[in-house]
Amino acid sequence: MNTWIFSLCCALLMLACPPARAEMPAMEPNVVVLVYHRFASTVDSTMTVRMQTFEAHLQAIEAAGYRIVPLADILRWHQGEQDALPGKAVAITVDDGHRSVYETLWPALRGRHVPVTLFVYPSAISNAAYAMTWPQLRALARTGQFDVQAHTYWHPNFRVERMHRSTDDFVKFARDQLRRAKVRIETEIGVRVHLLAWPFGIHDPELERIAREEGYTAAFTLDAQPLRASQPAMALPRYLITDGCGARCMTNILNAAEGNHE
């Protein structure tokens, strides 16, 4: 009798206090990084995006429930801060330092919450007719809306340079490209430069090692895919955006990020 009562009590306790459920892993956010180059009212080059196309992109991003965030927030999430991002995040980057960023993009974005990261190569700044000047870049940086980072010193094709140089000379050349870009931008703009966009998206393990040694914490390619937490910091993907990518194209890019995560 006592045994039966004891068993009944144990059963009642188990019903009253069910075993704790294992916590479900947090869902990885959907993350997309876009890269633009030039902006204008008409298409004057393959890398030019009309402002009406860009505005359509912004509308598509909002309609899909995404939020445009600073690239720095995405990197904090990638480094382990799980609450650094909303569930759907997009970062906008612009390569090369074309003057249309200052003359066309900035006036359109003034007063709007659209943070932008600029990847520039210093040899062109204040030298090439197509490029911005250092005073213009400083003005953009002062707004707090634009972050200025490195795109090497003069945008070399590392694959071609490797073919024409000895191993030691190539390493010296690559190191010089990354170091000079970082030092010049930090000196001219007064910001910490620790992000890199690979010219033409070209990179390899040796270049990634050199970049880390020169103080870069993350680098970006032109691989057209969503950004995942599992991807290496020195080869983070971006979607190259041209004017041929309209609102439907942008929606497809965002939808792709919502597929099965690795």
- Give the tens place of pLDDT for each residue, 123-145: 999 999 999 999 999 999 999 99
Residue 261: pLDDT above 80?
Answer: no
Give pLDDT, residue 17: 46
- Cα–Cα dist 180/200, whole Å: 19
Q: Grade residue 11 by pLDDT with cuts at 50, 70 and 90.
A: very low
Give pLDDT, residue 258: 85
Choose among 184, 196, 189: nearest CA to 149. Answer: 196
Determine contact, residues 232/26, Cβ cutoff 8 Å: no
- Cα–Cα dist 80/125, whole Å: 35
Q: Which amino acid is at 177?
A: Q
Distances, alpha carbon 240 to alpha carbons 38, 40, 210, 229, in Å: 12, 17, 25, 20
Q: Grade residue 259 by pLDDT with cuts at 50, 70 and 90.
A: confident
Between 260 and 208, residue with greater pLDDT: 208
3-state secondary structure of 32: strand
Choose among 86, 149, 76: nearest CA to 113. Answer: 86
Give backbone dihedrals phi and psi of 149, rounded to 5 degrees, phi first.
-130, -175
Range 224-234 average pLDDT? 97
Model confidence, pTM? 0.88
Q: Could you report the per-residue pLDDT of 88-121, keeping only the tens digit for each?
A: 999 999 999 999 999 999 999 999 999 999 999 9
Give pLDDT, residue 26: 59
Structure tokens at 77: 């999430």
Residue 240: pLDDT above 80?
Answer: yes
First CA to last CA across the chain, in angstroms? Answer: 56
Determine contact, residues 178/196, Cβ cutoff 8 Å: yes
Range 32-37 average pLDDT? 99
Q: Could you report the per-residue pLDDT of 61-85, keeping only the tens digit for each?
A: 999 999 999 999 999 999 999 899 9
Residue 44: pLDDT above 90?
Answer: no
Determine contact, residues 207/243, Cβ cutoff 8 Å: no
What average pLDDT is seen over the chain? 91
Residue 18: pLDDT above 60?
Answer: no
Between 2 and 194, residue with greater pLDDT: 194
Give pLDDT, residue 6: 45
